[in-house]
């Protein structure tokens, strides 16, 4: 399967703990995105990478959130000092800047975070 | 705030009927993408339509785009129980991020 993969699929943590999620994009895609989705809502943009450069961050991405894509391949999203309001589905997507499907964003299965 | 707004918020039809969902948006776009999401799962990409296109087809799916009205529609023909899901439109304004609406919850009754 050459789709976008995310790990873990589910994470339950206690308030105040740090969590880290991983995303592996489709191999030839140079763009990678993180979104957050809460129940009954559409996904909301968090941040975006082109290769290893983080080019945009949403206001939703507070100082407790940090994302990296060190070698332009996989990416990690870390949340420090988690709060109950961080409970959501965290979605990763990737896209290519060229080819017949350029700019089509393909999503992974998501990581569902529950903060107790 | 969300750029796209889907209408209706919920739709329930009988298997075999056609389902039409609409999406309106506020600013100029490069493209508009439709996604399906089954309960609690990831998003499945359905169709991307670019701003210079007016209609695209994929199997039982037909998407139209009217940039003068800033609206798009998704038609699913001959619906099946497996089409039960939430459907989202997402707009790309050229800033590389997608802005999603709240989605239409489609239920296909057997």
| pLDDT tens, chain B, 110 aa long | 456 688 999 999 999 999 999 999 999 999 999 999 998 788 999 999 999 999 999 999 999 999 999 999 999 999 999 999 999 999 998 777 899 999 999 999 99
Asked whether residue A9 carries a pLDDT value surpassing 80, the answer given is: yes
Asked whether residue A1 carries a pLDDT value surpassing 60, the answer given is: no
Task: Report the SS3 class of residue B83.
Answer: helix
- What lies within 8 Å, CB to CB, of B8 at 6+ separation is B21, B104
Residue B33 vs residues A51, A93, B47, B89: alpha-carbon distances, Å: 23, 13, 6, 6
Residue B73 vs residues B7, B22, B32, B57, B110: alpha-carbon distances, Å: 9, 4, 10, 12, 24
Cross-chain Cβ contact A44/B41 below 8 Å = no
Which residue, among B26, B44, B78, B80, has the nearest Cα to A104 in the 3D structure?
A: B44
Taking CA–CA distances from A96, the nearest residue in chain B reads: B96
Partner B contacted by A112 (CB < 8 A): yes
Q: What is the C-alpha to C-alpha distance for residues A34 and A4, in angstroms, rounded to an integer?
A: 12
At residue A89's C-alpha, the angle toward residues B40 and B106, to 5°, is 35
Cross-chain Cβ contact B100/A48 below 8 Å = no
Q: Which chain B residues have a beta carbon less than 8 Å from that of A44?
A: 100
Residue B101 vs residues A98, B49, B59: alpha-carbon distances, Å: 26, 16, 24
- What lies within 8 Å, CB to CB, of A70 at 6+ separation is A52
Interface test with B, best of A30, A42, A105 (most B CBs within 10 A): A42
Structure tokens at A65: 């959130």
Q: What is the C-alpha to C-alpha distance for residues A3 and A26, in angstroms, rounded to an integer?
A: 5
Q: Which chain A residues have a beta carbon less than 8 Å from that of B48?
A: 101, 103-104
Mean pLDDT of the region A111-115: 98
Asked whether residue A2 carries a pLDDT value surpassing 50, the answer given is: yes
Q: What is the C-alpha to C-alpha distance for residues B68 and B23, in angstroms, rounded to an integer?
A: 13
Cross-chain Cβ contact B97/A109 below 8 Å = no
Q: What is the C-alpha to C-alpha distance for residues A53 and A75, in angstroms, rounded to an integer?
A: 11
State the pLDDT at residue B97: 87
State the pLDDT at residue B95: 73
Cross-chain Cβ contact A41/B102 below 8 Å = yes
């Amino acid at each position: 399967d050459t789709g976008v993969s995310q790990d873990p699929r589910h994470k339950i943590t206690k308030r105040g703990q740090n969590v880290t999620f991983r995303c592996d994009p489709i191999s030839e895609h140079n763009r990678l995105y993180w979104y957050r989705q809460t129940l009954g809502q559409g996904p909301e943009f968090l941040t975006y990478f082109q290769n290893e450069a983080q080019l945009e961050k949403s206001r939703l991405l507070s100082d407790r959130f940090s994302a990296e894509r060190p070698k332009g391949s996989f990416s990690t999203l870390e949340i420090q000092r988690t709060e109950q309001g961080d409970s959501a589905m965290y979605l990763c997507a990737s896209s290519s800047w060229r080819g017949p499907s350029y700019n089509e964003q393909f999503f992974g299965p998501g990581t569902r975070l529950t903060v107790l | 705030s969300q750029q796209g707004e889907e209408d209706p918020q919920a739709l329930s039809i009988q298997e075999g009927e056609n389902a039409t969902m609409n999406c309106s948006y506020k600013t100029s776009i490069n493209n508009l993408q439709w996604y399906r999401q089954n309960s609690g799962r990831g998003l499945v990409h359905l169709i991307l339509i670019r701003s210079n296109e007016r209609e695209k087809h994929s199997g039982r799916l037909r998407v139209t785009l009217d940039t003068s009205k800033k609206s798009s529609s998704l038609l699913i023909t001959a619906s099946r129980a497996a089409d039960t899901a939430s459907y989202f439109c997402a707009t790309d304004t050229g800033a590389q991020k997608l802005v999603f609406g709240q989605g239409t919850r489609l239920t296909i009754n057997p």
